[in-house]
Amino acid sequence: MLQFIYFVIQAIQPILVPVCFVSAWAIVALIVWSLYSAVRDSVATSQKLHQIPCTNCQFFTGDYRLKCTVQPTIANTEAAITCMDYQAKTNPLLY
């Protein structure tokens, strides 16, 4: 039995090194691709969230209980990007 295992190991050994080399680099490539995808998605989400105009709106209160007096359900969400009730602050120093 041990002679058979020794024979199998000797037969597989020339193939084992290249297979391990390729699989190790494949794992590294998958990790790099995963990190790249995570960064790309987070940048896209960040750019989309920076389009929300609520903080510059006249009706934005800044209070966590009532963020917006006109549209409180969509305040500070992606739905507020196309808010029809948006009015820019006339004097941002007063708020």
Residue 92, number of CB atoms within 10 A of its CB = 10
pLDDT tens column, 50-92? 999 988 888 898 888 888 889 899 999 999 998 898 888 887 6
Residues 4 and 30 in one domain: yes
Cα separation of 1 and 69, whole Å? 81
Any domain includes 93:
no
Beta bridge mates, 60: 68
Domain that holds residue 8: 1-42
pLDDT at 94: 60
DSSP per-residue string spanning 2-61: HHHHHHHHHHHHHHHHHHHHHHHHHHHHHHHHHHHHHHHHHHHHHHHHTT--GGGBTTB-
What pLDDT does residue 95 have?
52
Token pair 């199998």 is at which residue? 8
Shared domain check, 9 and 34: yes
Q: Within this chain, do residues 35 and 59 fall inside the same structural domain, yes or no? A: no
Counting the structural domains of the chain, the total is 2
